[in-house]
Amino acid sequence: MSDHFKDLLYAGTLINTTDGFVPINVTGHPSKFPVDKVLQAQELQKIMNVLLYRAMMDQNTYEMDTKDEMYNMLVKMKRTSRKTKPTLIYTRTDYLLDKAHILKQVEINTIAVSFVELNTRLNQIHATLHENVWLPENVPKFVEMVALTRNTFIRVNDYSDVIALLLDDNTGIQSKNFFEKKNLMFELKKKGVTMLHVTMQDIEKNGKFENDRFIYAGQSVFFVYLRHFYNYDHYDNCTMHLRTQIENSDAITLPSIELQIVGLKMFQVVFKNKDVLKKYLSDTQISTIYEHFGDFKSAKDYETGDEKIYFLKCMREGGNTIITENFKDYIAEPDRYFLMKKIDSITVRNRFYTENEDSDMILELGVLGAFVEYDGDILLDEHSGFICRIKKKESIECGVTCNYGGLDTIYKN
């Protein structure tokens, strides 16, 4: 690691504020990854947007018989107001490229979607040192989506002075990905969107609900962007009550309860069923997307030796518990876990910035998607950039803030 590169990380505020103010884990240089596969994943995202939207519109989605506590809690908080308001979807679909050169979905993220802005700063740092680094438009696309949401909200509700809230568990510098959150707020402000960083306690103190309006500090709220509240233990009775009030107001939440539900890991298994897909997608769309889904089986169908082929995955969004051995300790809870077949991924040559030599690593491509709908009219359906995360070949998870992996970039050609 050169001092110059480390200085660039500090200058770019690629800093972990929750762990000693050291740079977050990133690669020392861009990775070589097939460009055509990135373009393919971006096209697939538009189908994923439609799939999630139509599943959200299906009442059967909210009537599933499961003991999963996260699903059942979210259903209780689902919007009951009959007033039509815009639907907003913003997701990240993560892929690995297997050795047959087929993109395989790892998971879908619908809440606290991280590194939208953070990864672009690594792109810029790598671009100062290397040629042909891909610079995806993550931030401009995010800002455009929020601006469209605001304009639609104003048109529908005839409000003029509106603000957005970034809802978190902590607004101080110890907040996870603190600089990313603040920089997104700065970028939105450039386009005339005021976003305040708040907690549920702030809303309890400064917020009120009048008929359909959500008012915070005297101003109408058009958009609530959640960067927390993805685990069951993030909720108490007060938090559930406030979340339910927000969902039933005019304010557009990201994610909505409906989007958060279809983002639960259990829906990876649901969407693998072609009979389910036929309710939501055309035959052409199904044939295009289906081979990219993972392979799953119920924990009830566990067989001795499955540990060699599968890993055990937690149902809930945000939990992302990956278990690779001793499945018998968990299969007694089939409503909490399912088996996902391991993906035999290609490797790239790279290293973390603290290392001196390249080694075989696995790159995970996260494609962002945006979708806005109102009263049957689709106002936006597009891919919105991408992020790259990377891990050691032998590592199971790719989490950046927990140091399982790191952020990466790729070459454009």
On whether 109 is known to bind a ligand per the annotation, the reply is yes
On whether 121 is known to bind a ligand per the annotation, the reply is no
Residue at a domain's end among 342, 358, 375: 342
Sign of the CA dihedral running 327, 364, 382, 138: positive
In this structure, are 87 and 183 located in the same domain? yes
In this structure, are 64 and 174 located in the same domain? yes
Residue 1: pLDDT band with limits 50, 70, 90: low
In this structure, are 131 and 264 located in the same domain? yes
In this structure, are 262 and 329 located in the same domain? no
Stretch 308-322: mean pLDDT: 74
- Give, as one character, the DSSP assignment of residue 343: P
Using CA atoms in the order 59, 61, 64, 66, what is the torsion angle rounded to 10 degrees? -150
Asked whether residue 381 carries a pLDDT value surpassing 80, the answer given is: yes
On whether 389 is known to bind a ligand per the annotation, the reply is yes
Residue at a domain's end among 285, 312, 342: 342
- Give, as one character, the DSSP assignment of residue 228: S
Residue 397: pLDDT band with limits 50, 70, 90: low
In this structure, are 250 and 329 located in the same domain? no
* Cα 220–Cα 226–Cα 232 angle in degrees, nearest 5: 130
On whether 138 is known to bind a ligand per the annotation, the reply is no
On whether 99 is known to bind a ligand per the annotation, the reply is no
On whether 32 is known to bind a ligand per the annotation, the reply is no
On whether 258 is known to bind a ligand per the annotation, the reply is no
Domain count, the chain: 2
In this structure, are 220 and 328 located in the same domain? no
Residue at a domain's end among 342, 364, 379: 342
Strand (E) or helix (H) holding 348: strand 348-350
On whether 117 is known to bind a ligand per the annotation, the reply is no
In this structure, are 337 and 347 located in the same domain? no
On whether 307 is known to bind a ligand per the annotation, the reply is no
**What token pair was written down for 16?**
């972990």
In this structure, are 328 and 197 located in the same domain? no
pLDDT score at 316: 65
Asked whether residue 400 carries a pLDDT value surpassing 90, the answer given is: no
CATH number of the domain within which 179 lies: 3.40.50.1760
In this structure, are 93 and 31 located in the same domain? yes
pLDDT score at 299: 85
Contact 172, 396 (CB under 8 A): no
**What gap in Å lies between CA 95 and CA 360, rounded to an integer?**
18
On whether 144 is known to bind a ligand per the annotation, the reply is no
Question: Where would I find the H helices in 117-193?
Answer: 118-129, 138-157, 178-190
What is the domain extent for residue 330? 295-342
Q: How many residues are given for the chain?
A: 413
Asked whether residue 403 carries a pLDDT value surpassing 60, the answer given is: no
In this structure, are 42 and 70 located in the same domain? yes
Residue 139: closest CA among 113, 158, 165: 113
pLDDT in tens, 5-58: 999 999 999 999 988 899 999 999 999 999 999 999 999 999 999 999 999 999
Asked whether residue 148 carries a pLDDT value surpassing 80, the answer given is: yes
On whether 265 is known to bind a ligand per the annotation, the reply is yes
In this structure, are 289 and 306 located in the same domain? no
HSE toward the beta carbon, residue 15, CA cutoff 13 A: 17
Strand (E) or helix (H) holding 42: helix 35-57
Which residue is associated with the tokens 């991408």?
A: 386
Average pLDDT, rounded, for the chain: 93
In this structure, are 336 and 355 located in the same domain? no
On whether 85 is known to bind a ligand per the annotation, the reply is no
On whether 342 is known to bind a ligand per the annotation, the reply is yes
pLDDT score at 43: 98
Strand (E) or helix (H) holding 163: strand 162-168
